[in-house]
Structure 1
Amino acid sequence: MAENQRIHPVAVDVEARPTTPLVPNGSSVSEKGSPARRPPPIRRPIPVIHAKPPKSASCCCKCVCWTISLLLLLIIIVGAAAGILYLIFRPKLPSYSVDSLKISSLGLNSDMSLYAEFDVEITADNPNEKIGIYYEKGGRLSVWYADAKLCDGSLPEFYQGHRNKTQLHLALTGQTQYGSALMTALQEQQQTGLIPLDLKVDAPVAIKLGRLKLKKVRILGHCLLVVDNLSANNSISIKASNCSFGLEL
């Protein structure tokens, strides 16, 4: 049985290059026997990204901080200046009192409107020792009954010096619609002998501190009066008077 077996020769490729054996350290051996070194691997550096805040956001924050700081500084300066001026001048509001009230005319017109003409004498008091008051154009004094304005008139323009009292004589006139109902209410109120009236003051003034004239402000106020009658050309007695005033910048 061994005789029947045939041995086939293996074809050898003469042109095939012999493989290069490897030395134990992993490098290949050249044909001359010396090991051939492999080129070192290329190492690429990993870029480092530094996180930085956007420049626009940083600029906005700085602007806001500077603006707030300047506003706070301005408020402190204005407050300090106002405090110094207050300590130097000691400002006080002027006061007003109604000395007399006279009715020249009060009646109904042909169109049933109410016509009124009052003569009022008031005293303006400036209690300040170092502050003068300029009464500017546009001041008004008006007389009201309930929510109806009976008459009004203009305040004169004048300068009031330090610690000065000035008497003003004012002629007030007015015409009110639906005067029939208003006249009836006044006549009924007159029977009680106590008629409430409201004198309202609106005076634009300029304050003078030393030689400095400040910008215009407004003195607003009203005097609540109780009189005994509203008969024309009769002496009217003021039973009660309560005045209050404020300053509007």
Structure 2
Amino acid sequence: MADHQRIHPVEVSPEAQPPRPSAPLGSILRSEKVEPRGQGQHHVPMRRNVTYPVVPPPPKKKKSCLCKCICWTISLLILLLIIIGATIGILYLVFQPKLPIYSVDNLRISDLTLNFDLSLYARFNVKITAYNPNKNIGIYYEKGSHLSVWYKNINLCQGSIPRFYQGYQNKTVLNVALSGQNQYGRTLLEALQEQQQTGRIPLDLKINEPVSIKLKTLKLRKVKIIGTCKLVVDSLSTNSIISIKASTCSFGLKL
């Protein structure tokens, strides 16, 4: 038992022992320290290229040529209308224009004949009085006038007013000859004879007269006097003055 509990020393060979450090421990620790920046060597900082997003500039407002032209045209038209309106207003206040007054004095039938081809030939003579009530406006009655007599939308005859100048507050008597031919003569003549038995025959005298206005020494552009005189006569006897029982006239200007 005593022999088994003894501890015998073991010899260790020199190869199995750990090697001794060749340098002191302090020098090894000093060599492992990292030398701070700026000491012992020059450190060059690294620069990174940073790319920023490019923001486009706000778009410029561009007005098209067409819009500008339209705006200028509308502005000029409005300005022109204002100038024309102001001019007309001033002229109206200064001259105070009035329409001429017309009246039918008498009506004579020279001819009312049924031809062999059953067309009706009519010839009327109309006496008209035209009065210019304006104090500072003269009227030129121009070429191209049209005067006609109608019975229930049927044209009986037509003619024209002669050219003349009518001065301020002037009254002019016109004798106008009208003639015409209607192909439905027999039917028309029978209707006129039947209407004549009542003693009231409706006739329409229509006027379409181009005129030029004269303001003192200034002659303006042409306008048209358009109107109708509604007549009621007692008969259509030829070669005799016909009695006009009623007469209503209305006229206006057409530019």
Match of residue 216 from structure 1: 222
- Are residue 104 (structure 1) and residue 114 (structure 2) matched? no
Larger Rg: 2
- Residue 95 of structure 1 and its aligned partner are, at CA, apart by 1.4
Matches within 5 A, 1:1-249: 34=41, 36-37=43-44, 39-57=46-64, 59-249=65-255
Evaluate the alpha carbon distance shift between residue 186 and residue 70 of structure 1 in structure 2; reply closer, same or farther with a 3 A threshold: same
Distance, in Å, in 1 between the alignment partners of 2:170 and 2:241 is 29
TM-score by length of 2: 0.81
Give 1:107 deviation, angstroms: 1.8
CA distance in 2, matches of 1:144, 1:169: 18
Deviation at 1:164, TM superposition (A): 0.4
Number of residues paired by the alignment? 223
CA distance in structure 1 between the aligned counterparts of 2:179 and 2:199, rounded to whole angstroms: 23
Q: By how many angstroms is 1:120 displaced?
A: 0.8
How far residue 141 of structure 1 moved from its aligned partner, in angstroms, is 1.0
- Does the 8 A contact of 2:201 with 2:234 survive in 1? yes
Q: 1 CA distance for matches of 2:181 and 2:233?
A: 21
Letter of the structure 2 residue corresponding to residue 42 of structure 1: N
Unaligned runs of 5+ in 2: 1-33
**Contact in 1 for aligned 2:106/2:241 (Cα 8 Å):** no
Structure 2: distance between partners of 1:132 and 1:108: 44
Cα deviations across residues 114-172 of structure 1 (Å, max 9, x unaligned)?
10011110001111000000000111211000111101111100000000010001111
- SS of the residue 2:150 aligns to: strand
- Runs of at least 5 residues in structure 1 that lack an aligned partner in the other structure: 1-22
CA distance in 1, matches of 2:228, 2:97: 21
User: What TM-score comes out, normalization by structure 1 length?
Assistant: 0.83
Tell me, in whole angstroms, the C-alpha distance in 2 between the residues paired with 1:61 and 1:120.
59
SS of 1:98's equivalent? strand
Whole-angstrom CA distance in 2 between matches of 1:180 and 1:215: 45
Q: Using the aligned pairs only, state the percent identity.
A: 61
Distance 1:242 1:63, change over 3 A: same
Q: Is residue 138–residue 214 contact of structure 2 (8 Å, CA) maintained in 1?
A: yes
Shift of 1:54: 5.0
CA deviation after TM superposition for structure 1 residue 181, in Å: 0.8
Distance 2:56 2:66 in 1: 24
